[in-house]
Structure 1
Amino acid sequence: MQKRVLILVVSFCTLIGFGQVSQSLSGTVFVDVNQNNYKDTDEVGLFNVLISNGKDVVKTDAKGHYKIAKIEGNTVFVIKPESYMFRLNKQKTVQFFVPFDTIQTVKTYDFALYPHQENKPTKSVLLGDTQVDVIDDVHHVGKLVTEELMDKEIDFIVPLGDLSFDNVSIFDPLSQTLGLIGVPIFYTIGNHDLNFTEKAFMDRDKSFEAIFGPSYYAFEYGKQLHIVLNNIYPLETKGYEGRLDAMQLTFLRNLIALEKEKFESVTVYMHIPLEEMKDKEELITLVKPFENVFVAAGHTHTQYHNYFERNNQKPIHQLVAGAVCGSWWQGPHDIDQIPFALMYDGTPKGYWELIFDHQQYDFKYKVSGAAHDKQMNITVPNTKEWDKSLNIFNDNFIYANVFAADETTQVDIRFDNGKWMAMRKYEDVAPEIQKLYHLQSLGKFSNESMAKFPKPTTISHHLWRIEKPVDLLPGAHSVRIKASANKINLDVHGNAVLWIDK
C-alpha cells in the first residue's frame, strides 16, 4: 500500500513538474551576425540581458540562455540592451517580444539581436496625440510628420499615446504611415487606444498589443534607460484614471533593482502626465535611484514643462508634448485639407525633437510645415479696413506665445532699434485661438466639412504680453522678441510689424 501511495505521489509530482515546464518559456538571446533571425551554430549568446514577462525580470546566463514563467494575458519580452537592436517589421516597430498569437503555444523562443551603433548624442522625436479616427487623419499624419522626417538623422521615435480616437482598426494604417520614416518606433498606449468593449482587465489593451507589442516595457539606448508605461487604468464602461496596475509596479521595482547601478539617467514615457496620476508619489519614489529623470507625456492637447522637486536630488523634469493632431483635427482646412487645429493653448500642430548627451537634454519644438526657427506666435494690434471681423480683438498689448517655454523663460521685446524690455507672463487664453473661434462663430467656415472648435477656455502656460508704447510715431515699426531659458537651453527669436494709426 505504501509503495502504491509513493508511486502515485511521484507520478503526481512529475505531472506538476511537467505542468510547470509547459507554463514557462526558455530560449537564447544571441548575436545574429548574418541577420537571418535564426541562431546559427557559430553565433554566440549574450550574457546578462534582461527578460521579462511583465512582472518578473530575469537575466540570461553566460551562454545567453533564459527561462521565465508565462503569465496569462502577458507576453515575454527583452529589455533591449545598449548597443544592440532587434529586427524591425515593415512598420519599423521593434520586434523585442514574442508575438501575442504565439506566446500561448510555444515552449521555446530565441531572440535575435544585432550590433547597433548608438550615436552620442542620441536624437529622438516625441509625437504627442496623433488621435486618428478616419483615413483622412492618417493622411494628415503622413503630411505633417512622415514627409518631414523621412531621411532625417533620427535614432528613434516615441509616439506618446492616443494614437487613435477609439478606433483600434486604424492602428495598422497609422503604423504603416509612420513606418515610412525608416527608424525604430517605440509606441506608448493612451486612453483612446483601449478596447473598452472587453470585460477582462487584461484584454483592454489587446488590439494595441497585436500591432505594437506590450503596452509597457523598457529598453536601453546609449548610456540611458528608457521606460515606457501604461498609466491608463480602465474603470467601468469608458472610464479610466491615471495610475499603474499592481503587476506593472512589480515589473518596475524588479527592473529598477537590476538597472539602478548601471544607469544614472532614465527617461519615462507615458500618456497621462505625472501630476494627474493617482499614484504619482509612488512612481516618484520608484525612480529615486536615478540622478536624472525626464518624463515625456501627452494627453492634454497643450504643452508645458513641469518640475517635481526631490530631496537632495535634481528635480524630475516633465515635458507634456502637445499633440500632432492639435485640437482633435478641429477647425477650417488648409489647401491640403488638413485642419488648422491649433492646440488649446494656441500652439500650432507639430512634434518635439529631443537630444540627450551626457546627462544633458536639449529640446526643440518643430511646427509641422514651418521653418525650424518658427518658435513663437506674435500678436499685435492690427486694424483692418476690408475684413473687420477681428478688429474687436485689437487692444493696447503685444502678445508672444512661445511654444517651447517653461516657467524660467525670460521674454524680451524691442521696438525698432530701441532698448530691450521685459515682457510679463500672462495667464489667459491664447489670442490666436480666440480669433479662430470668433471667426467660426461668425459662420466664416460654415460651408466646410469640419469638426468645430469648442469655446476656448484653456489657459496657456507660455504666453507673455506688454503694453504698446505710447510714444511711437504713426506708421510701421519693427517688433523683435527673444526668449531664453538656461534650464532647457532655449534661445529663440521672432519678428513682427506693428502699425501705428494716425
Structure 2
Amino acid sequence: MNKLGLTCCFLALALGAAAQGQVTGYVFQDANQNGQRDRGEKGVANVSVSNGIQVVQTDGDGQYILPVGNDNVIFVIKPAGYQAPLDAFNLPKTYYIHKPGGSPASLEYPGVAPTGALPASVDFALEPADESGEFKALVFGDPQAYTKEEMEFFAKGIVSEVAGIRNVAFGISLGDLVGDVLSLHPDYKQAVAKIGIPWYNLMGNHDMNYDVTADSLADETYEANFGPANYAFDYGNAHFIVLDDILYPDPRDGNGYWGGFRKDQLDFVENDLRFVDKNKLVVLAFHIPLDHRNGDTFRPEDRQRLFDLLRDFPHTLSLSAHMHTQTQHFYTREDGWQQDKPHHEYNVGTTSGDWYSGQLNKQGVPDATMRDGTPNGYAFLHIADNQYRLEYKVAGEPADYQINVFNPKVVAQGQRTRAGIFANFFMGHHGNTVEYRVDDGEWRRMTPVQSADPAYLALVHPWDNSDELIPGRRPTDAVASTHVWRAAIPTNLAIGTHTVEVRATDDYGNTFTQTSTYRIEQAK
C-alpha cells in the first residue's frame, strides 16, 4: 500500500477521535545498531504497530500512521525473523510512551514523567534475526518479593539456577513481579537481567497502583518501569499476546479487584488478530486464570469475547499464574469455547512458591512448596511450528523430578490400614495415567483423588506442634490438589523393606518414575 492509500485508510479513525492527533513513524532495519533511523536504512513493510487499541501495518517504506491521545503507549509488534534492541536489563525496546502531562502526581509510587510533545517521527528499530520455528521459552510465575530479602531469595533460588542458560529464545514472567512494593521493580529487573536472554513481563495484581480510581490508571508505575501492559510479538510460527487481566477497582462494588478485561483491551486483541495468520500458534499470557470453576473470579462476558475472537484459530494456548498452585485447565464448548478441541490453559506454578514460606532448604532459601504440594520452580514452553509442549522444572532438583511419592514409613504386617500411597504428579491432571508397583510386581493404576497432598500437610504440621518457634514463616493451609493419586499400601508382604515405584505419563507422551520405600514389621 502506498502512503496516500495508507493515509486515506486511517483518515476516518483520525477524524473520528475527538481531541486526538496522530502519530507517525517508521519501522526500520537498524543496520548500524545505533537505535536511530539513519539515511539509507530500509523500512520494514507489513509490520503491525499499535497505540494500545488500533493496530495498523507499515506500508512499503515501513511507515505507519495511528491516532493518538494524551495517554498512549505506541509499540511495534515484533515480527518473526527480526529482533528488537534490548535495554540494559535485556528488556525489548519496542515502545514509546506518550503522556504529555505525565502520570498523576499523587501516586505513592511514581509513574511516567511528562513526555511533552510528540516527536515528528516515532521510529522503531529492528534487526534481522535467524529465528527457528522450533524453540523454547522460559516461563516464571509470580516472583512476588515483598522485601529485598525475598528478592534475594528469588535471585538465589531461581535466577542463579538459570543464569547464562543456552538455547532459550526468551523468558517471560506472568505477573506479580513484586509484592505491592513497586519500588522493588528495579531490583527485579536487575535480577532477571542476569539470566542473559530477552525478557518479557506482564502486570499482576501486586504490580498495580492501588491509589487510583480508574482501571486505566492502575498501570502507571508498571508502564514507567516496563512499558505497555498490553502488547504482542511474534517468534517463529507463534504469536504471543500479553494482557493485563486485572480490573481495579472491582467494577461491581469498587472494592478489591476482579479478573477480566476492559473493552479497549479486547478491541486491541481483535484488531491485532486481523493481521495474524490462522496457521500460527496463538499464545496468550495473563496473570489471573480464566477458570470459573473456582468461584466468581473472572468476568464471564470478557472470557466469552476472548473465546469468540479465537474461534477461527485452531492452535492456541493460554499461560497464567496468580494462584500459587499448578493446574491444567481445559475449556470446552460447555465453557463457551467455540471449537471441538478444548482450549488449554496452563496455570503455572510460581517461582516464589508459597510466598517464600517454610524452613530453609539446601539452597539456603525457604522451601516454599505450594499449597497443592507442587514445589516452587519454573516452566519451559517448547514450540515446534504451531505445536507446543510444556515442562516444569523444580528449583534445585534434577529435571526428571516430576513426581513426589508419600507413604507411611512403617506398617504392621497383615493389618488393615487407612494409610495409603500418594503420588503428586506436578504437571499432571486427572486425565493422565498414573500407576504403581511394589517390589517390581505388577503395575496397577492409582486412583485420582481431590484431596490435600499429605506430603504437604507433613510440612505444615511441625509449625503447629512445635514447642519452640521455628525460623521463617509457617506455610499456608493446604488446598485440594488437582494432580494427586492414591493407592492402598500392601501389608500382606514379608517383614522387611519394600520399594514402591510410581510412573506417570504426561500429555506429550513423556513417562516419569519416582520411588519410595516402607517397612513391614510384626504387629505390636
Same fold by TM-score greater than 0.5: yes
Structure 1 104/267 Cα, relative in aligned 2: closer, same or farther at 3 Å?
Answer: farther
**2:344 equivalent among 294, 317, 322:** 317
Assess if the C-alpha contact under 8 Å between 1:53 and 1:71 holds in 2: no
- Mapped pair 1:489 → 2:509: yes
Assess if the C-alpha contact under 8 Å between 1:381 and 1:395 holds in 2: no
Assess if the C-alpha contact under 8 Å between 1:332 and 1:445 holds in 2: no
**What do the CA deviations read for 1:33-59 (whole angstroms, capped 9, x no partner)?**
221112222210000111100111111
- Mapped pair 1:97 → 2:103: no
Which residue does 1:416 correspond to in 2? 439
- Mapped pair 1:196 → 2:210: yes
Deviation at 1:116, TM superposition (A): 1.6
Which residue does 2:387 correspond to in 1? 360
- Mapped pair 1:441 → 2:455: no
SS class of match (1:378): strand
SS class of match (2:463): helix
Residues 21-420 of structure 1 aligned to structure 2 (within 5 Å)? 23-99=21-97, 101=113, 104-107=116-119, 108-152=121-165, 153-235=167-249, 239-259=256-276, 261=277, 263-275=279-291, 276-278=297-299, 279-309=302-332, 310-334=337-361, 336-383=363-410, 395-420=418-443
Using the TM superposition, name which of 93-102 and 321-330 deviates more.
Answer: 93-102
Deviation at 1:258, TM superposition (A): 2.1
Separation (CA, whole Å) in 1 of partners of 2:248 and 2:401: 39
Separation (CA, whole Å) in 2 of partners of 1:201 and 1:482: 47
Which residue does 1:389 correspond to in 2? none
Which residue does 1:13 correspond to in 2? none
Structure 1 454/21 Cα, relative in aligned 2: closer, same or farther at 3 Å?
Answer: closer
Specify every segment of 5 or more residues in structure 1 that has no aligned partner in the other structure, as ranges.
Answer: 1-15, 385-393
Structure 1 444/38 Cα, relative in aligned 2: closer, same or farther at 3 Å?
Answer: farther
Using the TM superposition, name which of 116-125 and 130-139 deviates more.
Answer: 116-125
Deviation at 1:358, TM superposition (A): 2.6
Assess if the C-alpha contact under 8 Å between 1:75 and 1:103 holds in 2: no
SS class of match (1:77): strand
Letter in 2 for 1:345: D
SS class of match (2:199): coil
Separation (CA, whole Å) in 2 of partners of 1:312 and 1:166: 38
Deviation at 1:314, TM superposition (A): 2.2
Letter in 2 for 1:501: E
**What do the CA deviations read for 1:378-435 (whole angstroms, capped 9, x no partner)?**
1110159xxxxxxxxx953111101011232100111112111111111101112211
**What do the CA deviations read for 1:363-388 (whole angstroms, capped 9, x no partner)?**
1110000110111111110159xxxx
**What do the CA deviations read for 1:62-86 (whole angstroms, capped 9, x no partner)?**
1011121213322100111111111
Assess if the C-alpha contact under 8 Å between 1:166 and 1:193 holds in 2: yes
Letter in 2 for 1:254: N
Q: TM-score, normalised by structure 1?
A: 0.90
SS class of match (1:51): strand
Deviation at 1:104, TM superposition (A): 4.5
Structure 1 103/444 Cα, relative in aligned 2: closer, same or farther at 3 Å?
Answer: farther
Deviation at 1:336, TM superposition (A): 4.7
**What do the CA deviations read for 1:126-146 (whole angstroms, capped 9, x no partner)?**
111111111111111112221
Separation (CA, whole Å) in 2 of partners of 1:367 and 1:287: 32
Specify every segment of 5 or more residues in structure 2 that has no aligned partner in the other structure, as ranges.
Answer: 1-13, 98-111, 292-296, 412-416
Separation (CA, whole Å) in 2 of partners of 1:207 and 1:432: 40
Structure 1 201/360 Cα, relative in aligned 2: closer, same or farther at 3 Å?
Answer: closer
Assess if the C-alpha contact under 8 Å between 1:271 and 1:298 holds in 2: yes
Which residue does 2:8 correspond to in 1? none
SS class of match (1:370): coil
Separation (CA, whole Å) in 2 of partners of 1:370 and 1:131: 21
Separation (CA, whole Å) in 2 of partners of 1:131 and 1:238: 22
SS class of match (2:341): strand
Assess if the C-alpha contact under 8 Å between 2:422 and 2:484 holds in 1: yes
Letter in 2 for 1:172: P
Structure 1 329/82 Cα, relative in aligned 2: closer, same or farther at 3 Å?
Answer: same
Letter in 2 for 1:419: E
Deviation at 1:360, TM superposition (A): 2.1
Separation (CA, whole Å) in 2 of partners of 1:424 and 1:437: 25
Letter in 1 for 2:180: D
Separation (CA, whole Å) in 1 of partners of 2:396 and 2:363: 11
Which residue does 2:490 correspond to in 1? 469
SS class of match (1:98): strand
% identity of equivalent residues: 31
Assess if the C-alpha contact under 8 Å between 2:371 and 2:477 holds in 1: no
Assess if the C-alpha contact under 8 Å between 2:237 and 2:386 holds in 1: no
Deviation at 1:102, TM superposition (A): 7.0
Using the TM superposition, name which of 474-483 and 304-313 deviates more.
Answer: 304-313
Structure 1 94/418 Cα, relative in aligned 2: closer, same or farther at 3 Å?
Answer: same
Which residue does 2:100 correspond to in 1? none
**What do the CA deviations read for 1:308-359 (whole angstroms, capped 9, x no partner)?**
1245542111100021111111122235541111111011110111101133
Separation (CA, whole Å) in 2 of partners of 1:73 and 1:98: 11
Separation (CA, whole Å) in 2 of partners of 1:408 and 1:498: 28
SS class of match (1:227): strand
Separation (CA, whole Å) in 2 of partners of 1:111 and 1:257: 21
Separation (CA, whole Å) in 1 of partners of 2:418 and 2:408: 6
Which residue does 2:106 correspond to in 1? none
Deviation at 1:443, TM superposition (A): 2.3
Which residue does 1:12 correspond to in 2? none
SS class of match (2:201): coil
* Count of aligned pairs between the two proteins: 473
Which residue does 2:7 correspond to in 1? none
Separation (CA, whole Å) in 2 of partners of 1:251 and 1:190: 19
SS class of match (1:461): strand
Structure 1 38/21 Cα, relative in aligned 2: closer, same or farther at 3 Å?
Answer: farther
Separation (CA, whole Å) in 2 of partners of 1:490 and 1:335: 28
